[in-house]
Each structure stands twice: as structure tokens, then as C-alpha cells.
Structure 1
Amino acid sequence: MALTEISQLSANLARISGVSMRVCDSQLVTVSLSGDDAALPVFRTLPAQPTQVERAITAQGDFLAVGIFTAATLTGYLIAGPCESESGSLAQILVASLVGAQQIATIHDDHIKVPPLTVDLAATDSDDDAAIAERYVKQNRLMQLITQGDTEQLPAAITAAVSVRDIEIFFSRVPNRRLRSAKNILYVFNTMCRLAAERGNVSPVTLDRVSSHYAMTIEQLPSLKYYQRLTTEMATQYCEIVAARRDNHYSSKVNQALQFIYRHYQEDLSLANVATAAGAAPTYLSRLFKQETGETIFEFINRYRVQMARQYLRHRPESVTDVAFHVGFNNVTYFNRMFKRYAGMTPLTYLRGSEPAIRG
């Protein structure tokens, strides 16, 4: 294919993938650019075969280079990047677009060398070791609260265990791939929370459903700015499930309604769909819920949404509006009013006392 033909193809690929595409000649001189003009990384080698993809891993993200061949002669390169998410599927798309859908991409990149493990059991603990020990204590405390279903003490424990300083340490475990590191940590955290909730006597079926939901959510995480929000949501969700299981003084209908609210509070809830989930008539459930909890169903929903909003605001989201919609409110003015009712202050006042977010 001629470079002029590839230029139109690269423009289409950039529009579909959201990743910048650059067509270069055989000397890496840019012929056309679709997207941002990011500085090209230094590729150790360049592709010499149609299905070969060279991947350069940088702090900006991954860059992919694919050869452009005309009658078996290399005439240039199509370079995609930076790509913040997993780039393997994009590499396959590039090869399929240039060579054919039946061809399989072969990716070459730098491999991370893992040093041999050495453990000195006789060594004296240093200050760094003490910090590690403290982190373990905080994490164990958080897991203990989930097992107990202690929703009152959980927010402070989350703040202590998921500090920006501690998290930044782990983001270097996969060099230059902070988002991949974050996802790996979240997978581990999801498993820890699941095991903690299991010790709280939550059924394996329920835990499998929740764990699977968060596994898919983690893999789709678009950027680091959502890391703390998702960590908070997971810990709170598992803890709430244990609490609901513990609250056996409620009737089965009210318990079913509570569990439905915990799982779907971000959605547009109505008395009808809560009642359907609980297997009860709306008027009957409304009366029973008020009798057993002391609140109407919507008072409980609003209070719980504000409780979740406080968790998210603690970790500085993009805006109060962003949080309002995330926790299920579709009107920011109403959210502000409910927040002040249940938290005793406005969301902005509460936000001023929150800790800084992770850089992404």
C-alpha cells in the first residue's frame, strides 16, 4: 500500500481508537499525523516483517510501530501512540488493517528483569521496614472492619489504608506503566475484600457476583484518577453486604430491599423496583420498611447516597457534580440539599478537608 493510502487509513484508525496515528517514511520522517503531535520514543529495533509490531513503553504510554510494505518492500511505518490502556488489541488491529484480518500480530518489546529474591531473616528492621509494617497494620484493620460489617469506622480506615504516599510506592512495580500497576493492585484489593467478607459469613454466590463485577470494572478503568474512588467503592460495598447479612433483626423483605439498594444505589431507584426486588407489594414494603428501620425507603436511599458521596469526596474527584451523578442523584441542587441534611455541611465545605488525589 502507498503511504498516501495509509494516511487515510491512519486517520480512520485514530478516530475509532482515540489513539494518535503517525505515518512515516522508511527514515522515520513524518508523512501525515492524525491526533496529537507527541514526541516519538526511541525504538530499539523497527519491524522488518508485515506482522511484526515493535512496542516502546514510555512514561506517556505505549507506542506501537508497524511496517508498511509495498510488493514485499518496506516503504515506511505506521506508529500509534501514546496508548495508556492495554495495547495488545490495538497492535492486532493495526496488523489486520495493513496486512489482513487473518494475520496474527507478533509484539516485541523490552522485558522487565526481575532480580533474584533474597530474604535475610536475621536483618534488623529499618525505618522503611517500620513503614511497611505500619501499612500492613492499616490494611489488616480495614479487612477486619469489612469482616465485622462496621460501616461507621470504615471511612477512616479506608483513608488510613489507601493513602497517596503508600499507593505511589506500588505504581513503580511495572515500570512506566502506572495504569497497569494500578489495575494489578486493585485486583489484589478486590480479592482481599472478598475474603474479608467471606469471613463475615456472606454466601459464596453473592461474593462471586460482586467480585466478578469489580474484576470487569477494574479492567475497564480508564485512568488513575478513578483509582481511589474505586478502592473506596469496593471496600464499602463488601462491608455493606456483611452489615446487611448481620442485620438479621430485619424481616426478609426489608433485608432484600436493603441489599438491592446497596447494589443499585447509583441507578434511578423507585419504590416499584425496590418492591419488586424484595418480592412485596409497594405499599406493604413501604409501611414495613418504615416500621423496622425508622426511615422511609427514600430517606434511607438519600442518606446512603450521601454516605457514599462523602467517601468519594474524601479523595477529591473532578467536581461535586461528578460525584452527585455518580452516587445516583440526577439533580445537583437536590444533592446539595440532601448532603447538608445528612452531613451537616455543603459538599464543597466537606471537600476542602479531603486529601489530595493521585497524579495520573
Structure 2
Amino acid sequence: MSERAIFRFTCRKYYQKNKNLYTYREALAQYYHNLPVLSSAALHQFAQTVGECLFETSSLPYYLIDEGNYFKNQSVTLVANYETVLPMRLLEQRYEHSTALICAVKQGNLFLAQKLYQSLITDISHIHRSKSPIRNAQNLCIIMNSLLRSALQEIGIHPYLLDKLSGEIAIKIENTQLYTALQSFCEQILIKYCELAQSYRYQNVKPLVHEAITYSLANLSDNLSVQIVADTLHVNPDYLSHLFRQETGQNFSEFINQERIRQAAALLKSTSYPIKQIALLVGYNNTSYFTKQFQKYQNITPSKYRQSNN
């Protein structure tokens, strides 16, 4: 709602109680016409910027109220819409974070998965299905186990492997009765499924290259280079670079860019995260460079890719 609309409503209410206001009519009218009107686009940009900078979310929840209808019954309309819309926005945000989390696990991107997991935990921290904190923590682990098992089934991992892993996790969940242990175990579930996704996608390469890929996918949002990965694995960077190309058919930087764009495409499809935020999540600090790289591998801009997939 614009300042102009608020001011108009205030003047009408005040005028009913104080008839002397009529003597200032021209001055008030001039002031009223000079007030700025906040467009819906500007409001959306404001909500998005504040959400990203202060709350690490895609946007603050807000609701646009039609000025004409609002003043017919201002108190009822505002309260009813606010109470309905805010929980809806929070629910949408929770589902969006869980969808993005699934995408990250499918790609084996542990760093991004852990970051999204923290956002999801914040979203559901107020939800208590049981009076027992331990039962609530167990329920969260069970949900995580089921969610990620289904996600990896979609990328073609054999049900035998998934059943073996999810069965072991399920037994450990029921046998763990410490609240803090259950909290940390939920993150361990995330790690195990990310590792399984990584091993499935690159199971036929030599151990050193597999190790380099695993490390890179787990830290995809960080600054990565052959030198950094080689230092981490305590090997010669030239040797690693040569072996990497021999096993994968591409050099290391091409592999990293391709994986980042793959992850970005999945997020563009499944979430409404701003493009700038997606670029940062997959390791690009410069949005223009991200757009250039996305166009190189996908032959389309990120915004057009999102439109065509929605």
C-alpha cells in the first residue's frame, strides 16, 4: 500500500472528527499529490533485497492490497489476508528449500546441501509433532532418510544400495535416544547420501580422480583449482591434471564449470531463488560471468531457461 493511500485514509478519519481540517484543504491536497507511490515492482525488489541481506531467504513475505477494496473494510481485509498469507509464504519457502536440498544431494554437492539443510531446519524449528523432543528429532531423521532415498532412486541408483543404506540409517535412528546425537546424525544422513550420489556418477574412474571429484563436488561453492585440490590430496598438480583429463575427457576447470551450471540449472527449474543467489550458491561471485558461463553450456540465458522450464 502506498504512502498516498495511507495518508488519504488518515485524512478522511481525522476530518470526521475535526472539521477545521477543511481550512488546510489546499495545502494538504498539494502534499498528498507530492507523495511517492511505491510500485509493486519496487516493493518486490525491496522485499527480495532485505530477505537476501538480513534473513538469507529469497524474499520477505508480503501482500499487495488493492487500495479501492481495502478502504471499504480496512481492518477486516488487512488482518484476514495477513493471517492467511504469511503462513502460506512460510510454507512455500519451506518446500522450496527442501526441493533445492534434494537437487543438491542428487548432484552430490555436499556444501550446498548442508547450507540448504540449515535453512530448512530454521523453517521447521517451530513444528513439533510430539511432546517429546527426542521423538521430534527422530521424526526429522526419518523424513530426511525417506526424502533422500527417493531422490537418489530418481537418478538411477539401484534399489539394493538404497535399501541397504536407508535400512542401516533407520535402525540407528530408532536406537539413538540422545537429542544432541540425533541432531548431528541428521547431518550425517545428508553426507552419506551425497557420498552415494558422488560414487554412483563417477564409479568407473581411477581412485585418485574419484577422490578429486568427490572433494570438488563437496566444495563446489568454494574457490576451486587443480592446485588447491592437489594440495588437499597431497599430489602433484600436473600429474592430477593429466590424469583427470585422461579419465574424464575434460580438463579440471571445464569439469567444475559444467558441474556448477548443472547445479544452477536444477535450482532454476525447481526454485524461485533469484538468479544472483543461485550464482553465489554454485560458486560464482559475479552474476554476469555466471550468465556467460550458463549460456556457454546451456545455449540460453538463466532467465530464459527458467521461463522455458516453468
Instruction: Considering Cα pairs closer than 8 Å and 6+ residues apart, tell me whether 1 or 2 has the greater RCO.
Output: 2
TM-score bracket, normalised by the shorter chain, equals: 0.3 to 0.5
Higher helix proportion: 2
**What TM-score results when the alignment is normalised by the length of structure 2?**
0.43
TM-score after normalising by structure 1: 0.38
Which structure has the highest strand share of the two? 1
